[in-house]
Amino acid sequence: MHKPFPKLWLWQLLLAALMFGLWWALTAGNILPPFFFGEPLKVVERVFAWFSSGAIWEHIGITLLETALAFAIGTLLGLGFGLWLALSPTASALADPYIKAANAMPRVVLAPIFAVWFGLGIWSKVALGVTLVFFIVFFNVFQGIREVSPVLIANARMLGASRRQLLSHIYLPSATAWVFSSLHTSVGMAFVGAVVGEYLGSSRGVGYLILQAEGAFDINTVFAGILVLTGFALLLDALVSFAEKRLLKWQPQHTERAGN
Amino acid sequence: MSLPKQPKEAAASGAALDFRAVTVRFPPRQKGDKAFTAVREATLTVGAGEFVSVVGPTGCGKSTLLNVAAGLHRPAGGEIKIFGHVLQGLNRQAGYMFQADALLPWKTAFENVILGLQFRGMAEQEAADLGNYWLMKVGLGHAGDRYPHQLSGGMRKRVALAQTLIVDPKILLMDEPFSALDIQTRQLMENELLALWQADRKSVLFITHDLEEAISLSDRVVVLSAGPETRPIGDFQIGLPRPRDVAEVRLTPAFLELHERIWHAMREEVLKGYAQTLS
Ligand SMILES: Nc1ncnc2c1ncn2[C@@H]1O[C@H](COP(=O)(O)OP(=O)(O)OP(=O)(O)O)[C@@H](O)[C@H]1O
Ligand SMILES: [Mg+2]
């Protein structure tokens, strides 16, 4: 990667400060009504209070737990079903219209149903996240398995691989690579599922904080909640990048060896 | 082992590979098109312990023939016998070095080399020893823990060679194995292959587009016609003395004379094949 200009992060930070400044100027000068647009200083104050009192951690913990569970369960299910359907043409032909229908359906409308099924605790949020994660992983694995180079398979078969060995040495690693390529999206979706689930009905979690503040017309707290969510979304994304680097060390980096 | 020796010997009699009027078709790309006949009634044998090269214009059906010999592609007509037995399913006696890259990208060079041993359930330590031995043998003792994308094209070919030979197949199917190598490495590898072959006389079906390589390595060179419906149109015995050095043998008058004769037979087909790729 070439650098557009030196000290990029400094400029990026400056840009953020500039935006906050603009926000502050507009709302303090009453050009935008603070009742609807919040006041940046109070928002920051609120975030600071949350962390200094430690009250926020319980909510963040719940949201992250829901995210992690939704991600793990959705990924495992997607991997399993993806492998199964990709390797069994009859099953995939049979399931095809249903999968398409289920994927086309806006899954957020399932949230009330999950609330009825699983209650207002974490599991209804996990379920919503799972429905979002599952399809991303499923389609990636399915496509990935279908696109495994036939030469790799022929070569392994000539070397004496049984069907099971083909699965464990070729299909599974290949599918895992595709799961990783969609990791950013699927972790993001697990997070979305958790927060949206909380927002639609819960008693804990960052989504709940936002819901409550909104009910009280406390726009500053809503913004503070959004700020915290964004921060943790970025953190999760960085974590994924880190895991990706460790686990996919067999893959060429984008910058090296494009020609071979 | 108390197996009676006689029947086993009898079963092992006959040519290593025996193509009998083999026809290969590919299904039409669209409905209404005719099926594409890549190979038509090709008859070709590779004797036990023989080194046979196949040359022919690009796209004529060389790789297709190898796929048939490997049992990866069923011929539409004719049959192929392996040591006297009609081939059904995969050819378990053959090792196949593919033209395209076939290393598993998520395994290191070492792990790729021992893959066939793993599939056979060999003990880990034994497999590791054999793997290291073969890595050394192809000159990659230092690169065992690198992934394929960290190897040069030539190094990858050498890993593939070790991967194929480590399981000690009786028949060796090789599809342009050295065409990606520079001339020095290539001649080293060719000499190495000849030495290995001389040691235990595998039956080799070797595909190349390089006539000089074919002559310097083989007992026989078979020329294929331009496709479609390719078939052998020439079969030349190479009587050059062994052991050979592939670089030196090219300078002998006998070599030049053979080259002249085979090239004469090939030239027309090569031009035909080239004209087809243009149209
Ligand atoms: N799976 C396939 N489906 C349809 N046609 C095929 C298929 N595989 C090969 N062919 C056709 O069969 C012919 C022979 O192909 P093949 O790969 O055997 O050629 P080749 O002699 O190995 O060529 P090269 O020297 O370039 O490797 C070609 O015309 C090719 O287009
Ligand atoms: Mg070929």
CB-based contact B115 A152, cutoff 8 Å: no
Structure tokens that stand for B65 in this block: 């023939």
pLDDT of residue B5: 41
Q: What 3-state DSSP class applies to B124? A: helix
For residue A260, the CA-to-ligand 2 centroid distance in Å is 19
Ion ligand 2 residue ranges (Cβ < 5 Å):
B 63, 99
Give the model's pLDDT for residue A5.
65
Q: Which residues of A touch B155 (CB under 8 A)?
A: none
- Cα A237 to chain centroid distance, Å, stands at 8
Q: Please, which pLDDT band fits residue A31 given cuts at 50, 70 and 90?
A: confident
* pLDDT computed for residue A162 by the predictor: 93
Name the residue with the closest Cα to ligand 1, atom 28: B59
> Quick one: pLDDT at residue B9?
41
Tell me what the mean pLDDT of segment A77-86 comes to.
Answer: 91
Chain B residues within 8 A of A174 when measuring between CB atoms: 106
**Which burial class, exposed, middle or buried, applies to A3 when counting CB atoms under 10 A from its CB (0-12, 13-18, 19+)?**
exposed
3-state SS assignment for residue B111: helix
Distance CA A143, CA A82 (A): 8
pLDDT: is A147 or B217 the higher one? B217
A152 contacts in B (CB within 8 Å)?
102, 104
As a whole number, mean pLDDT of residues A2-22 equals 83
What phi and psi values does residue B20 have, to the nearest 5 degrees? -120, 110
As for the ipTM of the complex, it is 0.87
Residue A241 structural domain: 57-258
B63 lines ligand 1 (CB under 6 A): yes
Query: For A151, which residue in chain B has the nearest alpha carbon?
Result: B102
Residue B273 belongs to a domain with what CATH number?
3.40.50.300
Strands B51-55 and B203-207: parallel
Question: For residue B59, what are the contacts with CB-CB under 8 A and spacing of at least 6?
Answer: B227, B273, B276, B277
Residues with Cβ within 8 Å of residue B48, at least 6 apart in sequence? B12, B14, B15, B16, B83, B201, B203
Which DSSP state fits B230?
B
- Give chain B positions within 8 Å (CB) of A177: 106
The closest CB to that of A159, out of B107, B115, B152, belongs to: B115
In angstroms, what CA-CA distances link A177 with A57, B104, B193?
34, 12, 36
In this prediction, residue A256 has a pLDDT band, given cuts at 50, 70 and 90, of: very low
Interface residues of B toward A, Cβ cutoff 8 Å, are 67, 70, 72, 90-92, 94-96, 98, 100-102, 104-108, 115-116, 118-120, 147-149, 152-153, 163-164, 167
- Cα dihedral B3→B5→B8→B13 (10° resolution): 170
The pair phi, psi for residue A187, each rounded to 5°, is -65, -40
**What is the model's pLDDT at position B1?**
41
Our CA-based measurement puts residue A252 at a distance from the nearest CA of chain B, in whole angstroms, of: 6
Residue whose entry in the numeric block shows the structure tokens 């994660």: A133
Longest dimension (CA), chain B: 62
Q: Give every strand in the sheet of B17-26, ordered side by side.
A: B36-46, B17-26, B77-82, B85-86
Q: In angstroms, rounded to a whole number, what is the distance separating the alpha carbons of residues A171 and A39?
A: 53
* CA B144 to ligand 1 center in whole angstroms: 33
Q: B55: phi > 0 → left, psi -120 to 50 → alpha, else beta; which?
A: beta
Are B149 and A257 an interchain contact pair (Cβ–Cβ within 8 Å)? Answer: yes
pLDDT at A179 over 90: no
In angstroms, the separation between the Cα of residue A98 and the nearest Cα of chain B is: 29
Domain membership of residue A3 (yes or no) is no
- Report the alpha-carbon distance of residue A70 to residue A122 in Å, rounded: 10
| Residues of the domain holding B69 | 12-93+208-278
Q: How confident is the model at residue A100 (pLDDT cuts 50, 70, 90)?
A: confident
Option in A158, A174, A252 nearest B149 (CB)? A252
The closest CB to that of B116, out of A160, A249, A251, belongs to: A160
Query: Is the C-beta atom of B59 inside 6 A of ligand 1?
Result: yes
Q: Are B208 and B53 in contact (CB under 8 A)?
A: yes
The CATH number for A102's domain is 1.10.3720.10
pLDDT single digits (tens) A105-144: 888 888 889 988 998 889 999 999 999 999 999 988 988 8
- The residue ranges of chain B whose pLDDT is under 50 are 1-12
Residues A153 and A171: their CA atoms lie apart, in Å, by 9
Number of domains in chain B: 1
**Residues in A touching B163 (Cβ below 8 Å):** 159
B167 contacts in chain A (CB < 8 Å): 159-160
Structure tokens that stand for B24 in this block: 């290969």
In this prediction, residues A19-48 reach a mean pLDDT of: 88
Residue A184's pLDDT is 87
Query: What does the DSSP 8-state code read for residue A254?
Result: T
Rounded to a whole number of angstroms, the distance from the CA of A193 to the nearest CA of chain B is 32
Please tell me the predicted confidence (pLDDT) of residue B279: 66
Beta partners for residue B235, in sequence order: B222
Whole-number Å distance between alpha carbons of B54 and B99: 14
Residue in B67, B106, B120 nearest the CB of A173 = B106
- Cβ separation of B119 and A252 shorter than 8 Å? no
Q: How far apart are CA B237 and CA B116, in angstroms?
A: 34
Q: Is the CB of B26 under 6 A from ligand 1?
A: yes
The CB of B37 under 6 Å from ligand 1? The reply is no
Q: How many CB pairs under 8 A join A and B?
A: 69
CA of A162 to the centre of ligand 1 (A): 27
- Tell whether A202 is covered by a domain: yes
* Ligand 1 atom 11 nearest Cα: B38
Sign of CA dihedral A251, A153, B229, B31: negative
pLDDT tens readout for residues A152-163 = 999 999 999 999
Provide the 10 A C-beta neighbour count for residue B88.
11
Band (pLDDT 50/70/90 cuts) for residue A254 is low
Q: What is the pLDDT of residue B8?
A: 41
Q: Is A241 helix (H, G, I), strand (E, B) or coil?
A: helix
Ligand 1 mean position, distance from CA B209 (Å):
14
Selected residue with higher pLDDT from B181 and A186: A186
Domain annotation covers residue A38 = no
pLDDT given at position B2: 42
B40 ligand 1 Cβ < 6 A: no
Q: How confident is the model at residue B112, as a pLDDT?
A: 96
**Contact partners, residue A183, CB within 8 Å, separation at least 6:** A240, A243, A244
Q: Do A158 and B70 touch (CB under 8 A)?
A: yes
pLDDT band at A3 (very low <50, low <70, confident <90, very high): low
